[in-house]
C-alpha cells in the first residue's frame, strides 16, 4: 500500500512540474510575440525623449510615460491616433494655430492645403543670451564758482559696462513670433568719467588792454550763475518725436542748439563752460537753472551725464 501511495505522489509531482514548464514556455512565447517599439516624444520646449513601449495609441503612450497635456497643448498626431515604428509624437501649442486657422476662415481667404498645414507647424522655443553695453556717465565736479577762465581736468576716464540679457523666444516656420525677457545680469559695472572744473590762473599782463592804432570791439558777458547742464538727442525717447525741428523752428544742430527755460529768449547766446551756444529749443522738464545741450546720439547724451557749469549771457 505504501508503494502505491509513493508512486501516486511521484506521478503528481511529475504532472505539477509539467504544468509549470508549460506555463513558463507560454509566457516566454507571449513575451517574444509582444513587439516593443522605440517612440520619440518631443515636448513643446524642444526637449526630446525616447520611450520603449508596446503601446500603439498616442494617449496610452503618453499616459505610460506620465506625460499630461496642458489645456493649451495638443499632439501631432492626435491622441486617438495609432502610431507605428519609426513615427514620433510632438506636443505643440494649439491656441496659436487655431487662431490662425480661424482668421483665415473668417476672412474667407482661398487657401491651399499647404497653407493650412503651415499654420499647424510646430512652435519651438529657444533661450537666447545677448550681451548689451551699458554706457558710462560723465560726472563733473566744479571746484570754483568762477564764471570765466575755467578749464576741465579729467580725474578718471570712463569705461562702458556690460550686461547679459536672457530671452525666451518662440519660433514657427523659423520666424520669431514671441520674445519674453527672462533676466538681466550685470557682468561688468560701468565706470563713470569724472571731470573736474578748475579756475585758470591768468597773469596781470594778459588782462591789460593793448595799445594799438585800431579800435577793437570786445564781447561782453553777463553772469547767469551756475546751471545744471544735461544733454539730449533727436530720438523719440529724448524728445517724444524725431523730427529734428526745435521749438523756434530751426533745425537742431550739435554744438549750437540748447534748450532753456523762458527766461532766455530764442536767439540768446550762452557761454557754457567756454563754448557759445544759442537758445533755440524748449522742453517740458527745462525750467529754473537747467539747460539741455543738443548732441547727435543717445549714447553721447548718456556719456555727457550731468554737469554743473557756469553760464554767461553773451551780449
How do residues 190-199 score in pLDDT, each as one tens digit?
888 888 876 6
CB-based contacts of 141, cutoff 8 Å, min separation 6: 155, 194, 195, 196, 197
C-alpha–C-alpha distance, residues 153 and 201, integer Å: 14
Domain 219-314 class in CATH: mainly beta
Grid cell at residue 294: 543738443
Average pLDDT, the chain: 77
Can you give the pLDDT at residue 92? 87
User: CA 294, 295, 298, 300 torsion: positive or negative?
Assistant: negative
- Cα 258 to its chain centre, rounded Å, is 33
CATH 3.10.20 location in the chain = 35-121
Judged against a pLDDT cut of 50, whether residue 4 lies above it is answered with: yes
Asked if residue 77 has a cis previous peptide bond (ω within 30° of 0), the answer is yes
Residue with grid cell 539747460, as numbered in its chain? 291
Can you give the pLDDT at residue 118? 58
Q: Which of 53, 172, 84, 160 is nearest to 121 (CA)?
A: 172
Can you give the pLDDT at residue 14? 76
Judged against a pLDDT cut of 70, whether residue 103 lies above it is answered with: no
Can you give the pLDDT at residue 32? 47
Residue with grid cell 519651438, as numbered in its chain? 124
pLDDT per residue as tens digits for the range 272-313: 988 999 999 988 778 888 999 999 988 888 888 888 888 899
Can you give the pLDDT at residue 301? 87
Can you give the pLDDT at residue 95? 63
Mean pLDDT value of segment 178-202: 81
Judged against a pLDDT cut of 70, whether residue 139 lies above it is answered with: yes
CATH architecture of 128-193: Single Sheet (2.20)
Can you give the pLDDT at residue 217? 39
Q: Which of 311, 314, 315 is nearest to 197 (CA)?
A: 311
Least confident interval from 40-44, 82-86, 168-172, 246-250: 82-86
- Which residues is 276 bridged to in the sheet? 271
Q: Report yes or no: 137 and 193 within 8 Å, Cβ to Cβ.
A: yes
Which pLDDT band holds residue 3 (cuts at 50, 70, 90)? low
- Which residues is 53 bridged to in the sheet? 37
CATH 2.20.230.10 location in the chain = 128-193
CATH 2.40.40.10 location in the chain = 219-314
Does the domain formed by 35-121 have CATH 3.30.2310? no
DSSP at 149 = S
Can you give the pLDDT at residue 278? 95
Can you give the pLDDT at residue 260? 92
Can you give the pLDDT at residue 269? 94
Percent of the chain with pLDDT over 90: 11
DSSP at 206 = G
Judged against a pLDDT cut of 90, whether residue 268 lies above it is answered with: yes
Judged against a pLDDT cut of 80, whether residue 72 lies above it is answered with: yes
Which pLDDT band holds residue 203 (cuts at 50, 70, 90)? very low
CB-based contacts of 213, cutoff 8 Å, min separation 6: none
Higher-confidence position of 218 and 73 = 73
C-alpha–C-alpha distance, residues 138 and 195, integer Å: 7
Can you give the pLDDT at residue 214? 34
Amino acid at each position: 500500500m505504501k508503494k502505491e501511495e509513493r508512486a501516486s505522489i511521484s506521478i503528481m509531482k511529475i504532472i505539477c512540474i509539467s504544468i509549470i514548464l508549460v506555463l513558463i514556455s507560454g509566457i516566454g512565447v507571449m513575451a517574444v510575440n509582444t513587439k516593443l517599439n522605440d517612440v520619440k516624444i518631443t515636448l513643446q520646449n524642444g526637449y526630446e525623449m525616447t520611450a520603449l513601449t508596446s503601446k500603439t495609441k498616442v494617449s496610452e503612450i503618453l499616459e505610460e510615460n506620465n506625460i499630461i497635456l496642458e489645456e493649451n497643448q495638443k499632439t501631432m498626431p492626435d491622441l486617438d491616433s495609432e502610431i507605428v515604428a519609426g513615427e514620433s509624437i510632438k506636443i505643440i501649442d494649439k491656441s496659436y494655430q487655431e487662431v490662425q486657422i480661424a482668421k483665415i476662415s473668417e476672412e474667407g481667404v482661398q487657401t491651399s492645403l499647404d497653407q493650412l498645414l503651415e499654420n499647424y507647424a510646430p512652435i519651438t522655443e529657444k533661450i537666447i543670451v545677448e550681451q548689451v553695453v551699458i554706457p558710462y556717465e560723465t560726472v563733473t565736479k566744479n571746484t570754483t564758482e568762477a564764471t570765466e577762465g575755467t578749464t576741465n581736468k579729467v580725474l578718471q576716464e570712463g569705461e562702458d559696462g556690460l550686461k547679459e540679457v536672457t530671452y525666451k523666444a518662440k519660433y514657427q516656420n523659423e520666424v520669431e513670433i514671441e520674445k519674453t525677457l527672462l533676466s538681466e545680469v550685470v557682468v561688468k559695472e560701468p565706470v563713470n568719467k569724472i571731470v573736474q572744473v578748475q579756475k585758470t590762473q591768468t597773469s596781470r599782463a594778459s588782462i591789460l588792454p593793448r595799445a594799438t592804432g585800431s579800435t577793437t570791439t570786445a564781447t561782453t558777458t553777463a553772469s547767469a550763475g551756475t546751471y545744471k547742464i544735461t544733454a539730449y538727442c533727436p530720438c523719440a525717447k529724448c524728445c517724444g518725436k524725431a523730427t529734428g525741428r526745435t521749438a523756434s523752428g530751426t533745425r537742431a544742430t550739435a554744438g549750437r542748439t540748447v534748450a532753456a527755460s523762458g527766461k532766455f529768449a530764442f536767439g540768446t547766446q550762452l557761454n557754457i563752460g567756454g563754448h557759445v551756444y544759442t537758445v533755440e529749443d524748449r522742453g517740458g522738464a527745462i525750467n529754473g537753472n537747467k539747460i539741455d545741450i543738443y548732441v547727435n546720439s543717445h549714447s553721447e547724451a548718456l556719456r555727457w551725464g550731468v554737469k554743473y557749469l557756469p553760464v554767461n549771457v553773451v551780449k
